[in-house]
Structure 1
Amino acid sequence: MRKLLLALSAIALTAGAVHADPKDDREALMKERGKIVGGLVKMVKGETPFDAAATLAALQTLDANAEKGLNVDALWPAGSNTDETSPKIWEDNAAFKAEAAKFKTVADAAVASPPADLAALQATVGTIGKECSACHEVYRIKK
């Protein structure tokens, strides 16, 4: 009986995830992205020691996050804009998709050639930050 309840609970959770709100999904994606980059920034600032293995793991997680972000049509479907979401996303959706692809390219490159030392991590984080900023300048409403 307990196994049946656990199985039904798992199915219910999975079904709920399939029908999640796109706004919530994209906010969770971006919060995760910020947390990953924030961890790398702590290494850059010397708040945590440089660790090549942890850096690679973070970059791999960031790359997986970037892959999810390529699903623009699911995360930013027409009609899902809010006061916090720039209408430019829908006005020039092709350019927005190109920005998502650029971020994925930056993440791919970081994983393909992971930083071996702090100086290389600083350069990598700088490149990632520039791409984040480029997208935010156009597609994020400043609060």
Structure 2
Amino acid sequence: MSDPNPGTVARKGNGSRYLFLFLLGLVIGAVGVVMALRAWDARKDHFPESLMHVQGWHMGQLSKAVEQNRCAATDTLPHLKALRTTADDLERAFPGLADDQRFADAASKMRGTLDGALASPPLNCTAVAALNKDIGADCKACHQDFR
């Protein structure tokens, strides 16, 4: 068969090209947004958040010790020492709150509770549970005011 209009050329649509460029732009834009968000996050100070996570983990370990009935001083003292050590960094972790008297009092009260626990370690699960409740109350007092 012969073409009735030999001078006309069949035209293909450019839709697939536009779709490809649109998808390529979306991918490049998504990569750019992720890179920008990661750069923004890298500039943030993660110390306060990390300090709270570490303290929370040690509090959780004390709770687990009570649940597992493993409340000897050898099981609880490492966590109490770690909590006391990290309590020294509370003002440094939150420099914007260091001048607030309520924050300073809450941090001091927590250190006092931990100092008392280290001076006279709890020797049974009832005492560990009570101590964990006291430490939690010190944490809660601060979190209610400043979270």
Normalised by the length of structure 2, the TM-score is 0.64
Cα distance change, pair 66–77 in 1 and its aligned pair in 2 (3 A): closer
84, 93, 98: which one pairs with 2:100?
A: 93
Quickly say closer, same or farther: Cα 1:48–1:119, change in 2 above 3 A: closer
Aligned to 2:129: 122
Counterpart among 69, 78, 85 of residue 64 in structure 1: 85
- Paired position in structure 1 for 2:117: 110
Which residue of the other structure, out of 12, 22, 26, is the alignment partner of 2:48? 26
Conserved 8 A contact 2:69-2:125: no
CA distance in structure 2 between the aligned counterparts of 1:135 and 1:21, rounded to whole angstroms: 26
Match of 2:138 among 100, 108, 131: 131
Larger RCO, structures 1/2 (Cα 8 Å, 6+ apart): 1
Distance across 2 between alignment mates of 1:139 and 1:38: 22
- Structure 2 regions of 5+ residues with no counterpart? 1-41
Structure 1 vs Structure 2 CA RMSD:
2.2
Aligned to 1:16: none
The residue type equivalent to 1:64 in the other structure is T
TM-score by length of 1: 0.65
Once the two structures are superposed, residues 36-64 of structure 1 have per-residue CA deviations (whole angstroms, 9 ceiling, x without a partner) of: 001001122x1463332020111111111
Matched, 1:75 2:97: no
Taking a change above 3 Å as real, the CA distance of residues 93 and 40 of structure 1, as seen in their structure-2 partners, is same
Give the letter for the 2:77 counterpart.
L
Are positions 1:53 and 2:74 aligned together? yes
Contact kept in structure 1, 2:87 and 2:111, CA below 8 Å: yes
Tell me, which stretches of 5 or more residues in structure 1 are unaligned?
Answer: 1-19, 79-88
| 1:37 partner amino acid | M
Change (3 A) 1:102 1:21: farther
Aligned-pair identity in percent equals 33
How has the CA–CA distance of structure 1 residues 25 and 60 changed in structure 2, closer, same or farther, with 3 Å as cutoff?
Answer: same
Deviates further, 122-131 or 48-57? 48-57
Does structure 1 retain, via aligned residues, the 8 Å contact 2:65–2:75? no
